[in-house]
Amino acid sequence: MSTETAEARPDGLSPSQTVGPFFHYGLTPGAAYGHVPVSVDGQVAAPGTPSEPIVLTGRVVDGAGDPVPDAMLEIWQADSDGRYAHPDDGRPRASNSFTGFGRSDTTAEGVYRFTTIKPGRVPGPGGREQAPHVLVAVFGRGMLKQLFTRIYFDDEASNAEDPILALVPAGRRPTLIARRDGDTFTLDIRLQGGDETVFFDV
């Protein structure tokens, strides 16, 4: 077979490179670069989305325990019925307005923040339902590729039967479970060191 054809199978993936320190005006322009259009931000659910509104927040810290002021988090989650706004989730959804996708940079204190809704339970491997969770990708200066982790919720009894949490050593599971205070769930992301966040090989 010739490899010269236009439809040749690629030799491999395009490798990842760091997002670097200067991504903000391109990816999270916000008010600081008001003339740049915003693709997606930390407001995942518009006010009034018919579900339980929550705030997801926490700090990103490095191996020295210092805040990471130039990280970026992206999250992906189901709606409150546990359905994804994606054609491969063929189940009907109550509303099409919720995309389930958000992006937040970190502040000078390393803080990320999303306003969203509590997701529902979603199908898991072997027909077992997963506990409500949010998939997270962490980018940053000094990070050559994104790290994947999850955020679970401390008020969900179904965490005990979640098939993904079950694969995590019990002592490290708390690094994935956000703590509730009012409508705010807080979870720090520790890139390295004591209480290092569990990151997934996916």
Partner 1 sequence: MSLVLPRSSTVAHPPSLHPAYTSTVLRAPREPLVLVPHTLTELTGPVYGQGKVRDSDADLTTQHAGEPQGERIIVTGRVLDEDGRPVPNALVELWQANAAGRYVHVRDQHPAPLDPNFTGAGRYLTGTDGRYRFTTVRPGAYPWRNHHNAWRPAHIHFSVFGPSFLSRLVTQMYFPGDPLFPFDPIFNSIPDEAARNRLVARFDLAVTQPEWALGYQFDIVLRGREATPTEEPHEH
Q: Which residues lie near Fe ion (CB under 5 A)?
A: 20
Which residue among 143, 151, 178, 187 contacts partner 1 (CB under 8 A)?
A: 143
172 binding partner 1? (CB under 8 A): yes
- Residue 89: how many CB atoms within 10 A of its CB? 16
22 vs 181 by CB, closer to partner 1: 22
Q: Which one among 52, 94, 154, 193 touches partner 1, defined by CB under 8 A?
A: 193
Asked whether position 27 contacts partner 1 by CB under 8 A, the answer is yes
Tokens 């970026």 locate to 72
Q: What is the CA radius of gyration of the chain?
A: 18
Residue 172 Rama label (left phi>0; alpha psi -120 to 50; beta) = alpha
55 binds, among partner 1, Fe ion, none (CB under 5 to 8 A by kind): none
**Locus of tokens 């990842």:** 16
Q: What is the largest CA-CA distance in the chain?
A: 62
Q: For residues 154 and 179, give the distance between their C-alpha atoms in angstroms, rounded to a whole number.
A: 5
Quick check: 107 binds partner 1 (CB under 8 A)? Answer: no
Q: Applying CB under 8 A, does 33 fall inside the site for partner 1?
A: yes
Half-sphere exposure of 40 (CA within 13 A, CB side): 16
152 binds partner 1 per the rule CB under 8 A: no
Q: Is 111 in the site for partner 1 (CB under 8 A)?
A: no
Asked if 10 touches partner 1 (CB under 8 A), the answer is: yes
Q: Which stretch binds partner 1 (CB under 8 A): 51-59, 78-86, 152-160, 178-186?
A: 78-86
Residue from 107, 109, 142, 179 in contact with partner 1 (CB under 8 A)? 142
> From the list 9, 48, 92, 160, which residue makes contact with partner 1 (rule: CB under 8 A)?
9
Residue 99 CA from chain centroid, whole number? 13
Contact partner at residue 200 from partner 1, Fe ion, none, CB < 5 to 8 Å by partner kind: partner 1
Per-residue DSSP letter, 196:
P
User: CA-CA distance, 78 to 81, in Å (whole number)?
Assistant: 7
Which of 56, 68, 151, 177 is the binder for partner 1 (CB under 8 A)?
A: 68
Measured distance CA(36)–CA(161) in Å, rounded = 44
Closest separation between CB of residue 51 and partner 1, Å? 18
Written as one letter, the residue type at 67 is P
